[in-house]
Structure 1
Amino acid sequence: MRLSRFGLVALGAAAVNAFRDTSPFFLASTSDVLANSAYIQTGASLFDTLSSSLSTCPSDYYVVVYQPGVHSTDFASRKSAPRLGAKMLGKDSSIRSKMSVNEVAGLVEPKHIKSLLEEKCKAQTSTIDGSSGSYPSSFEKGPRIIDIEFPMLSLGSDRAQQLAGFDGLLSDIVAQIPSSSKYTILYLTSPREFPETDSVIYETEGDSYHDSIHMELKRDYSSHEGLSDKSTSLFEEYQYFTPGIFMGLMATFLFFAILYIGINALGSLQVPYAAFEKDTSAAVQKKSQ
């Protein structure tokens, strides 16, 4: 099911504001990680899910990526992050587990993920500055955290090109991980715009009452354009037919099958009306004796 066809724009301005401060999350791993995709999830709920999955230390390397200033529509095109998209779409045969959340309401701080891995897995951290474009040719033996922080995307026309460049750098860094080792990519993001930064992004004028009016009119809603007419979803993959749903459907089917057989059995019973009449022949015979 491709939920990008969901008519978000048709819900009006209230729905646009509701999804303004959300951003996507991706997980791709060569290990078996228990995680299910979802369309929308809170940051606290997502962190709880990741804590449960990562506490077992499934991999040797954990690539914790932080990309600020994005929205789910930035990843609507296959060209936006083709290498990460290939892992999420199953085109990379080494990937055994993947998870995507289109809209994460609230931030999942990279430092909390790193603290969890350092505490549970005793992992050491290698920090890479995504803006420099440089990275080591090899990494020390795991368990190890590869911490990558990219700069915030610009709001200009080079936005898509910048995101594709970061995607290429991430792919090159992952390629330096020993082929015999297992790795997990945790792609964390933050929304394009925050209420507290509106005064920086937008120029205001006049008194405070008119400021709020102008600010509301000047907000950047371009991230939501085309949501109703795009035919591709976030990396075109969402998991909704989970093992739990499958077992529930199977149990429901068995229940109705047993109920159907029982009703048919009851309906097929044929009892003659004489069976409900009292047999008086024995009593009459006793009296005659």
Structure 2
Amino acid sequence: MAKTLVGALALASLPCALAFLDTSPFFLFSTAKLAIDGRGAAIARATSIVDQVEETLSNCPSKTYLFVQQNGVSAADYLDGLSAPRLGHFMGGKHGDVKSTMAVSEAVGTVDWNAISTYVQAKCGAEMLQVDLSAPTVSPRSEYPPEPLIIYATLSAPLAPRAAVLDTHDYFLEKLIGDLDTQDYTVIYTTTPQTAEQIEASGGQRTYEMDHPFGEAVHMELKRDTAAHTRRDEQDEGGLFERYQYLSPGLFMGITAVIPLLIILYVGLTAITSLEVSYFAFSKEMGPSAQRKQ
């Protein structure tokens, strides 16, 4: 299971049910230690996500806030390790500077990044800077005033081929973070659901499967147990000795080993009980011969 979930959702260890066309994932990672649950949630409303993020950023934990909005994606786009490997690198704890992560695989509605940025501006006095991703270049953080800074970038909705476009956008994200030249930042990565045009371009409505959070091992055990019950039901017909096995190979080998041991025990007990010794063999001699020996 770990090999198939190489993307950001998998690295965040999220159980996801890809059953909604009007939902999209949400990611957050920061170099500060935030009071958030890194495992996130499988599904949540966009309004509740906004409230949770605002509460998390209420103490202004970072000097730089990078808002990235990826349009027209779904949680399934991030299950492939080729789509967003760099985002998965940050979310999976493989980057030494990242100390906090949060991910929601299915956000119902669109997370209002503008509401979050407005809250950060009012709470922390941050300045707003928009980046054109046609040439994603940001001046180093040292060239800006010491006040908190908000950087905003929008990524276009990918049509086909989706994996190549998402990989390019993933490279833009890494370049933006690298250009910051700082280890004090928080990235809020919001997305919007796919449009009807995107679904049609990708070959129509996809077939969704439930991804079980307990792994393939549990699935295999359940499958074997089901098969055992099926075989037992099929064997209900027939005689008693046809449905049950009374002498298994292990039991047969145990009986075979016990029989020689019982024979040896019987021979030993028989030899001991056959000994015949008179009582006078243990008595002290008191006659004339005993006096001559003295």
Q: Using structure 1 for the length normalisation, give the TM-score.
A: 0.62
CA shift, 1:110, in A, is: 1.7
Aligned residue for 1:69, secondary structure, equals coil
Residues 6 and 47 of structure 1: CA distance in aligned 2, closer, same or farther (over 3 Å) = closer
Q: Which residue of 1 aligns with 2:266?
A: none
- Give the aligned CA root-mean-square deviation in angstroms: 3.0
Q: Which residue of 1 aligns with 2:114?
A: 111
Q: Which residue of 1 aligns with 2:204?
A: 220
Out of 127, 150, 153, the position equivalent to 1:124 is: 127
Q: Which residue of 2 aligns with 1:148?
A: 153
Q: Which residue of 1 aligns with 2:194?
A: 192
Runs of at least 5 residues in structure 1 that lack an aligned partner in the other structure: 9-15, 203-214, 234-289
Is 1:135 matched with 2:137?
yes
Deviations 1:15-64 (A, max 9, x none): x4xx1100000011000112221110001110110110011100010000
Q: Which residue of 1 aligns with 2:61?
A: 58
**One-letter amino acid matched to 2:205:** Y
Residues 173 and 4 of structure 1: CA distance in aligned 2, closer, same or farther (over 3 Å) = closer
CA shift, 1:109, in A, is: 1.5
Residues 171 and 38 of structure 1: CA distance in aligned 2, closer, same or farther (over 3 Å) = same
Deviations 1:188-233 (A, max 9, x none): 001012xxxx5xx39xxxxxxxxxxxx99x99322x54x3479999
Out of 40, 45, 57, the position equivalent to 1:42 is: 45
Deviations 1:56-102 (A, max 9, x none): 10001000000110000000012211111011111111111000000
Between the aligned partners of 1:86 and 1:232, the Cα distance in structure 2 is 23
CA shift, 1:4, in A, is: 7.2
Runs of at least 5 residues in structure 2 that lack an aligned partner in the other structure: 2-9, 216-294
- Which has more radius of gyration? 2
Deviations 1:106-143 (A, max 9, x none): 1112211110111001000110122x133233241441
Aligned residue for 1:146, secondary structure, equals strand
Is 1:166 matched with 2:169?
yes
**Do 1:4 and 1:230's aligned partners in 2 also have CA atoms closer than 8 Å?**
no
Between the aligned partners of 2:178 and 2:29, the Cα distance in structure 1 is 14
**One-letter amino acid matched to 2:100:** S
Relative CO higher for 1 or 2, CA cutoff 8 Å, sep ≥ 6?
A: 1
**Do 1:4 and 1:228's aligned partners in 2 also have CA atoms closer than 8 Å?**
no
Out of 79, 89, 95, the position equivalent to 1:76 is: 79
Between the aligned partners of 1:106 and 1:152, the Cα distance in structure 2 is 16
Out of 177, 185, 203, the position equivalent to 1:183 is: 185
Aligned residue for 2:192, secondary structure, equals strand
**One-letter amino acid matched to 1:84:** L
**One-letter amino acid matched to 1:191:** P
Report % sequence identity.
32
Aligned residue for 1:86, secondary structure, equals helix
**Do 2:67 and 2:190's aligned partners in 1 also have CA atoms closer than 8 Å?**
yes
Question: What is the aligned residue count?
Answer: 199
**Do 2:125 and 2:147's aligned partners in 1 also have CA atoms closer than 8 Å?**
no
Between the aligned partners of 1:4 and 1:55, the Cα distance in structure 2 is 26
Between the aligned partners of 1:55 and 1:5, the Cα distance in structure 2 is 28
Aligned residue for 2:131, secondary structure, equals strand
Q: Using structure 2 for the length normalisation, give the TM-score.
A: 0.61
**Do 2:137 and 2:179's aligned partners in 1 also have CA atoms closer than 8 Å?**
no
**Do 2:16 and 2:106's aligned partners in 1 also have CA atoms closer than 8 Å?**
no
CA shift, 1:161, in A, is: 0.7
